[in-house]
A and B are shown apart, each in its own frame.
Chain A
Amino acid sequence: MISELPIETERFNLIVANAVSSVFQTMLSRHIELDTTSSHDANGAPVRHIPITESGQQLVVGNIGFVGKLTGMVYLYMTYPFAINIASEMLGMDPHEVEEDEMVNDVIGELSNMIVGHFKNQLDEHGYGCRLTIPSILRGSNFEVEPVRSASRQVYYFSTPDDQHLIFDLLMQPGD
C-alpha cells in the first residue's frame, strides 16, 4: 500500500518517525527513535505477537482514525507503566498522582491526537488531505486488532534510551 503512494517508502517512514519523535521531544523533552518497521497484509500476524504485548502486562492503546483521500486508523501501543510515566511527565505531576484511569486515558488520548495530527499534517502537504476522528483508548492485556481485509498494515517499533517501547500500528486504505 505504502509503495502505491507517490511518496517514497523511506520518506513515508520518516513522516511517521518524525511525528512520534517530535511530539515526544516537544511535550516530554524525551528522545525516542524508530527501531524497525514491518509490513503485514490484512491476514498477517496480529500485533499481539509484538514483543511488548507478549509480556502479559496491561496495555494502553490510543487509537485515532483519519478520513479523506487516505482512510485508516492508527493504534499506539504502550505498557501501562510507560503510559503512567508519560502522563506524569506531560502533566508535571508525580506518578502516584496520575494513577487514575481517567487521567491516564486522557493524556494518552491527547498524545495520540498530537502524534497522528502531526502525521496527518505531513500527509496534507503531500496532497493527501484528511480529517481526524476523536481519539479513544483501549486497555487490557489480551486483545488483538483485526483489520478489514482491504486495508494494508505497517507497524513501526519505537524505543527510548531507557528501554521503553511504543508501537505505531498503521492501517490504511485509499479513501474518497
Chain B
Amino acid sequence: MKLLTVDDSKTVRIIVRKAFKGYDLNILEAANGVEGLAIAAKEMPDLILLDVTMPVMDGIEMLTKLKSNPLVKNIPVIMLTAEGGRDTVLKIAKIGVRDYMVKPFKEDVLLDKVGRILDLKLVGEEVEARRTILDKVQLLMVEDKPAIVEQVREGLKHTPWEIHHSTNTWNAVDFAQNNTVDLFLVSLNLPEDSSFELIQILRSNRKTKSVPVLAMVVKTDKNRYAKAQQMGFSGIVTKPLEMVELEARVARCMNLDMSPRYYSFEQKYMVIRFPEKPTGIDLSEISNNLSKKLSEAVDSGLSRIIIDLQNCKSLEVGIIKQVLQITQSCRDLSLEHALVGNDSIVEQGQSFEETKNWKVYQSIESAEELLQVPVS
C-alpha cells in the first residue's frame, strides 16, 4: 500500500513517515501540488494526505485538479491544515475529501484516521509469501482476435497459469468483480479504443487498482504505444507476440519468483537445472539468483551442487559461461559439484578449450553417488 503525503513542510513529511514507520506502508512525498499530482498519476497511491497552504500549487488547487482527472479522482484524500476555520472546511468538503485534520495533531489521531481508510498492517504481519513461477495464477486476456488468444494459450501452456478470456472490456470488468484476477493482458486494438477506458476503470476500482495490466500493441502502432505509456499500464508487449518475452513480462509484472524453475533443493544436494534452449532471460535469472541460492544451500547444511544440463539440446556459449561461473562460485565456497548432461553435451564439450576437460555424468543418480564418495 502507498500513502502520498503532500506538504511543503519537510517537518510534517518526517512526522508522517515516523508515524507509519512500523507499518507495511510505502510513504511517498511531494512538496507542493504540482509534484503531488505528478506522483499521484504515476504511483496511484491508496491515500493522499494533503496540506492546504503550500507554495507553487496549494492543496485546494491540487484537490480540484485531482477530482477532475478520471484516472486519480477516486483516490481518497485527507486534508491536513493549520487553518481549521469554517470557511476552509466547507470549501474543501465541497470539492470532496474523505476527512480532514487540523494541525497540531497527535500521532495516534493520524493513525486512527488513516486506519479508517486503509487496512494498515504492521511490518511482517500476514505478509504473503512471494508467489513463484510454479504457482497457479489467474490471467484475464481481453482480446477480440481469437487467433491471438489461441497463440497465447498455446505459447503459455507449459506454465501452471490459468488463462481466462474476454472479448470486450465490459465482460472483463464483470469477470474481475466476481473472480480473482492476478494479471490483465489487454489488447490496445479493441474497438473504439476501449482498452484505454478499461485501464481507468481498473485503476479506480478498489479490487483491481493494484492488479498489473499488461498491454499488447501492434509493433508499428506508435500512437497507441505512446498513449499506453502515459496511462498507467504496468508494461507493454508488442505484436506479433514473442512467447518467451511475453512469459517473462507477465512473470515480472506479477513479481513472480522465477528461481524455482532453475533451482531445486533435494535432501542431500541442490540442483541447478538449465532449460532445453536457455534464453537470455533464463541465463540472467540463473545468474542473478546464484549467490542467494548457494547461500541458502550452505545455510541449510547442503554442500553438494549438481548442475543439470540434461535437457539442453546444444552447448551454447551462454551456457558454458554460466556453468563456469557456477563452478567458480562453488570452488569459492568449497562446495562439491558435478555436471550432468546428455551425449550431445558430452560430444560438443570436446570442441571447446574451456569444456574439453569437463567430467559429465549421464544421470543425477550417478553424479550423486560420486559426490557421496569422501574426498581423500
Chain A residues with CB under 8 Å of B15's CB are 90-91
**Contact A117-B83, Cβ < 8 Å, known A91-B15, A109-B9:** yes
Contact of B84 among A102, A109, A117 (CB under 8 A): A117
Cβ of A132 < 8 Å from any Cβ of B?
A: yes
**Closest CB in chain B relative to A115 CB, distance in Å:** 9
Determine chain A's interface SS by DSSP, over half rule.
Answer: helix
Establish whether residues A113 and B103, one from each chain, have CB atoms under 8 Å apart when the complex forms: yes
Determine chain B's interface SS by DSSP, over half rule.
Answer: loop
Inter-chain CA distance A90–B10, complex, in Å, is 12
Question: For window 27-70 of chain B, which residues contact chain A by CB distance below 8 Å?
Answer: 53-55
13 additional A-B pairs beyond A92-B18, A114-B104, A120-B83, beta carbons within 8 Å, are A26-B104, A26-B105, A87-B11, A90-B11, A102-B10, A107-B11, A109-B11, A113-B103, A116-B82, A118-B82, A120-B82, A131-B83, A134-B55
Chain B residues with CB under 8 Å of A117's CB are 81-84, 102-103
Chain B residues with CB under 8 Å of A13's CB are none
Establish whether residues A121 and B104, one from each chain, have CB atoms under 8 Å apart when the complex forms: no
Inter-chain CA distance A61–B124, complex, in Å, is 43
Using a Cβ cutoff of 8 Å, how many contacts connect chains A and B?
A: 63
Chain B residues with CB under 8 Å of A91's CB are 11, 14-15, 18
**Closest CB in chain A relative to B314 CB, distance in Å:** 59
Instruction: Return the chain B residue nearest A133 by Cβ.
Output: B53
Cβ of A27 < 8 Å from any Cβ of B?
A: yes
**Closest CB in chain B relative to A29 CB, distance in Å:** 9
Chain A residues with CB under 8 Å of B55's CB are 134
Question: For window 137-196 of chain B, which residues contact chain A by CB distance below 8 Å?
Answer: none
Inter-chain CA distance A117–B101, complex, in Å, is 13
Inter-chain CA distance A92–B15, complex, in Å, is 8
